[in-house]
Structure 1
């Protein structure tokens, strides 16, 4: 799993129990998956189609630093399927896992657009 982004848990990220609000972490995951997919598929019109079961394993608290990890599961014709793990940066304890997140590339009319990709590409390799 490649961990791409770190977040610092602040007071505005907490729920009434004093732990990280589930909606906030899902917002961060969705944004991270969108950014990753837009870069991989080279299409700024890429959207979330599906998220499988969300498994909350542990909590995060104010002051914790978490990191969001993403791996590619498969490339579809117009989609990219990812999996995600969020963990505490310092303790490595898993906070949340999502086994399947499907992102879809769209055309200008909002229809699925084939992307022709079959493997992970790094921007540095595209610039050669």
Structure 2
């Protein structure tokens, strides 16, 4: 899992206990996972179909930098399933994990599911190539 995206926890992101509000974390996870899926499938006509188990493990506080790690878990004919981990950039402590986030590729006109034409192996090769281009290793 690569951690490439980061956010700063701001006062407006906090709950009554002065920690990152769970709803804000879920909003960020959905957005980050969608961007990841869009890049993987090379289409921005996707919808979130399902978010599975979400586990909150430790708080994020005002001023913390949190980072998002994403990985492709499964590839279907019209869908992609990803996992997202949010962790504290400084301490590396896991804040939360959202598993089984499913996105479905849609036809832009009919809004019906359409095959995206990708396989897990192709996406893994695509990611390795992108990382080499960015000089981030394998």
TM-score by structure 2 length? 0.86
Q: Comparing 115-124 with 84-93, which one deviates more in the overlay? A: 115-124
User: What residue is the counterpart of 1:34 in the other structure?
Assistant: 34
Distance 2:130 2:2 in 1: 17
2:2 is aligned with 1:10: no
- Counterpart position of 1:115: 116
Match of 1:88 in 2: 88
Query: Which structure 2 residues correspond to residues 26-105 of structure 1 after superposition, within 5 A?
Result: 26-105=26-105
TM score, norm. by length of structure 1? 0.92
Alignment partner of 1:85: what SS? strand
Paired positions, count? 125
User: Tell me, what secondary structure is at the counterpart of 2:20?
Assistant: coil
1:33-73 C-alpha deviation (Å, 9 max, x unpaired):
11111111121111110001110001000010100110000
CA drift at 1:124: 4.8
- Which residue does 2:135 correspond to in 1? none
- The whole-number CA distance in structure 2 between the counterparts of 1:17 and 1:117 is 44
Deviations along 1:91-128, one digit per CA (max 9) or x if unpaired, are: 00000012211011100211111011013224859xxx
Q: Which runs of 5+ in 1 are unaligned?
A: none
Deviation at 1:77, TM superposition (A): 0.2
Measure, in 2, the Cα distance between the counterparts of 1:39 and 1:58.
29
Query: Deviation of residue 26 (structure 1)?
Result: 0.6
User: Pairwise CA RMSD of aligned residues?
Assistant: 1.4
